[in-house]
């Protein structure tokens, strides 16, 4: 019995140790940036049996929202601020939809984040789809009128063109019709944003 | 008891197989925020280099830039007045980011094993023990295979001399990123410095 308690205790300690070691990042960031905008959204359609596929859809939908928000706000370029894994403001070199496809979607060979699909827990789509619901995506962006010289940015028009040419673009009518509108006035947007802020600011 | 070991084995192996491995080979790339084009098409191949390092780690970036410009046939001058180009490079930052999958993997695998074990054996004690065991192994494996991302940035300011003692300044920022399983700053730094210095040297004919 004592042996069992000791061995279980050791295993539990191991778990706690992994928790502490699993993340590290530099707090030093020399890139001065304007304030970021949080975009919280719910990808269209009901969740499927494949979380990886849902996460991919959420990641693309979030990128579409980033591009659309940029253009609607009268700007042309955007940089991702969070998730940190793909943060341009933290020095990520990823700034094209082609690279996004490789790193953040299930079609990519080296999809970033855990693919712990069978157990229903994991980080998918470069941590964009890691909310209370796999179809909920969170992305923080900074937008620019002119292409900045101090940071790598996405061209919003190029992102939209890529999504359309690859049949990944979701027409606004489609997600409004399905009751999954991500508008700033919607209760869903507010509740998702509040959930995300609470998690992010911890 | 035998059944419990079988459960631990099956669920643990599934966890390890399904949690996703990190990148075994290092992937590295670099990009400039904007291209630089000189006014002089056939300049004198002389340069004066000022290398600074405001990053938190020692950097060989300046020496690498000097070496690569020399390899391109440029003569390095001691006096900026005699050089066609004054190249100022500052290693800005070096940071690292690791995937956070160890705890989640451990929790998921442990919880699943415990549930399956309880359903089969109806023993809370066995369920807890097997859950902890599998969780610990899966967490360790996830920790060992998590990808590390190391990023480096450098500012570049080039002063180009034109006719009649006029000058024109060109600036850009170079970003480099390396990804590999359990990658550390020490391992990535030489690769990133090589990428950035190659990119800077590539501006010159």
Q: Which residues on neighbouring strands pair with residue A25, listed in sequence order?
A: B97
Maximum mean pLDDT: which of A56-60, B15-19, B34-38? B34-38
- Above 90 in pLDDT, residue B178? yes
**Local confidence band at B142 (pLDDT 50, 70, 90 cut-offs):** low
Q: How many domains does chain B have?
A: 2
B73 and B39 in a common domain: yes
Instruction: Provide, as residue numbers in chain B, all residues whose Cβ is less than 8 Å from the Cβ of A83.
Output: none
Q: Note down the domain range covering A170.
A: 42-187
- Above 80 in pLDDT, residue A156? yes
DSSP 8-state code for residue B46: E
Q: Does B99 touch chain A (CB under 8 A)?
A: yes
B37 and B77 in a common domain: yes
- Above 70 in pLDDT, residue A36? yes
- Above 70 in pLDDT, residue B81? yes
Beta carbons within 8 Å of A131's beta carbon, 6+ residues apart: A40, A137, A138, A192, A195, A196
Q: Does B14 touch chain A (CB under 8 A)?
A: yes
B128 and B60 in a common domain: no
Q: What is the pLDDT of residues B98-111, one digit of tens each?
A: 765 555 556 655 66
Give dist(CA B9, CA B6) in Å, integer.
5
Q: Does B190 touch chain A (CB under 8 A)?
A: no
B166 and B105 in a common domain: no
Q: How far is A162 from chain B (nearest CA, A)?
A: 21
B37 and B93 in a common domain: yes
Q: Does B142 touch chain A (CB under 8 A)?
A: yes
B182 and B115 in a common domain: no
**Local confidence band at A125 (pLDDT 50, 70, 90 cut-offs):** confident
Which residue has better confidence, A147 or A195? A147
B123 and B38 in a common domain: no
Q: How far is A172 from chain B (nearest CA, A)?
A: 32
Query: Is A16 a member of any domain?
Result: no
- Above 90 in pLDDT, residue B125? no
Rounded to an integer, the average pLDDT of A89-113 is 78
Which residue has better confidence, B112 or A87? A87
How big is the CA angle at B145 (ends B95 and B18), to the nearest 5 degrees? Answer: 130
Beta carbons within 8 Å of A52's beta carbon, 6+ residues apart: A106, A111, A115, A117, A124
CB B91 within 8 A of CB B140: no
Q: Residue A116 and residue B93: Cβ atoms within 8 Å?
A: no
Give the chain B residue nearest A126 (alpha carbons).
B99
Q: Model ipTM?
A: 0.72
Query: Is B28 a member of any domain?
Result: no
**Local confidence band at A99 (pLDDT 50, 70, 90 cut-offs):** very high
Instruction: Provide, as residue numbers in chain A, all residues whose Cβ is less than 8 Å from the Cβ of B19.
Output: 114-116, 122
Query: Is A201 a member of any domain?
Result: no
pLDDT score recorded for residue A69 = 92
pLDDT score recorded for residue A170 = 87
Read off the CATH number of the domain in which B168 is found.
3.40.50.10610
B195 and B114 in a common domain: no
How big is the CA angle at B66 (ends B64 and B162), to the nearest 5 degrees? Answer: 135
Give dist(CA A143, CA A81) in Å, integer.
10
Give the chain A residue nearest B14 (alpha carbons).
A118
CB A142 within 8 A of CB A79: yes
Instruction: Provide, as residue numbers in chain B, all residues whose Cβ is less than 8 Å from the Cβ of A117.
Output: 18
Percent of chain A with pLDDT strictly greater than 70: 64
pLDDT score recorded for residue B138 = 63
**Local confidence band at A60 (pLDDT 50, 70, 90 cut-offs):** very high
CB B87 within 8 A of CB B58: no
Q: Does B149 touch chain A (CB under 8 A)?
A: yes
Q: A-contacting residues of B 55-94, CB under 8 Å?
A: 56, 92-94
Rounded to an integer, the average pLDDT of A115-129 is 58
Q: Note down the domain range covering B115.
A: 2-21+100-145
**Local confidence band at A119 (pLDDT 50, 70, 90 cut-offs):** very low
Q: Of B62, B47, B58, B151, which Cα lies nearest the Cα of A89?
A: B151
Query: Is B26 a member of any domain?
Result: no
Q: How many domains does chain A have?
A: 1
CB nearest A18 (choices: B27, B94, B140): B140
CB B185 within 8 A of CB B152: no
Query: Is B132 a member of any domain?
Result: yes
Query: Is B71 a member of any domain?
Result: yes
Q: Residue B100 and residue A23: Cβ atoms within 8 Å?
A: yes
Q: Residue B18 and residue A119: Cβ atoms within 8 Å?
A: yes
Instruction: Provide, as residue numbers in chain B, all residues whose Cβ is less than 8 Å from the Cβ of A8.
Output: 128-129, 132
B47 and B141 in a common domain: no
Query: Is A202 a member of any domain?
Result: no
Query: Is B110 a member of any domain?
Result: yes
Give dist(CA A138, CA A135) in Å, integer.
10
Rounded to an integer, the average pLDDT of A119-143 is 74
- Above 70 in pLDDT, residue A2? no
Instruction: Output the average pLDDT for chain A.
Output: 74
B153 and B136 in a common domain: no
- Above 90 in pLDDT, residue B34? yes
CB nearest A91 (choices: B95, B108, B142): B95
Q: Which residues on neighbouring strands pair with residue A129, listed in sequence order?
A: A124
Q: Of B184, B158, B185, which Cα lies nearest the Cα of B169?
A: B158
Which residue has better confidence, B167 or A122? B167
Give dist(CA B179, CA B98) in Å, integer.
10
B81 and B60 in a common domain: yes
Q: Residue A15 and residue B105: Cβ atoms within 8 Å?
A: no
B156 and B191 in a common domain: yes
């Amino acid at each position: 019995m004592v042996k069992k308690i000791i061995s279980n205790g050791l295993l539990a300690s191991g778990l706690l140790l992994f928790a502490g070691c699993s993340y590290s990042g530099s707090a030093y960031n020399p890139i001065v940036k304007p304030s970021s905008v949080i975009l919280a959204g719910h990808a269209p359609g009901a969740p499927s049996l494949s979380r990886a596929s849902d996460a991919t859809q959420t990641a693309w939908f979030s990128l579409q929202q980033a591009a659309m928000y940029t253009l609607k706000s009268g700007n042309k370029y955007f940089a991702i601020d969070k998730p940190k894994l793909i943060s341009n403001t933290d020095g990520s070199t990823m700034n094209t939809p082609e690279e996004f496809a490789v790193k953040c979607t299930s079609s990519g060979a080296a999809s970033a984040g855990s693919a712990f699909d069978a157990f229903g827990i994991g980080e998918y789509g470069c941590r964009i789809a890691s909310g209370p619901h796999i179809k909920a995506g969170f992305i923080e962006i900074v937008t620019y009128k002119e292409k900045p010289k101090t940071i790598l940015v996405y061209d919003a028009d190029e992102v939209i063109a890529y999504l359309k040419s690859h049949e990944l673009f979701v027409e606004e009518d489609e997600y409004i019709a399905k009751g999954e509108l991500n508008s700033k006035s919607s209760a869903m947007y507010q509740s998702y944003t509040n959930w995300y802020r609470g998690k992010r600011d911890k | 008891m035998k059944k419990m070991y079988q459960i631990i084995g099956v669920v643990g192996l599934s966890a390890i197989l399904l949690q996703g491995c990190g990148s075994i080979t290092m992937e590295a790339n670099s990009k400039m925020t904007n291209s630089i084009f000189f006014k002089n098409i056939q300049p004198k191949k002389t340069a004066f280099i000022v290398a600074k390092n405001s990053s938190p780690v020692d950097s060989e970036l300046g020496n690498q830039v000097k070496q690569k410009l020399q390899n391109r046939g440029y003569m390095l001058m001691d006096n900026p007045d005699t050089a066609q180009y004054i190249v100022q490079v500052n290693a800005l930052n070096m940071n690292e980011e690791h995937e956070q999958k160890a705890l989640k993997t451990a929790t998921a695998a442990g919880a699943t094993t415990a549930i399956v074990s309880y359903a089969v054996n109806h023993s809370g004690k066995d369920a807890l023990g097997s859950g902890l065991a599998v969780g610990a192994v899966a967490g360790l494996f996830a920790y060992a295979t998590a990808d590390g991302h190391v990023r480096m940035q450098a500012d570049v300011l080039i002063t180009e001399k034109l006719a009649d003692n006029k000058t024109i300044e060109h600036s850009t920022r170079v970003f480099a990123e390396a990804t590999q399983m359990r990658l550390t700053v020490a391992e990535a730094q030489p690769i990133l410095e090589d990428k950035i210095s190659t990119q800077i040297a590539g501006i010159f004919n």
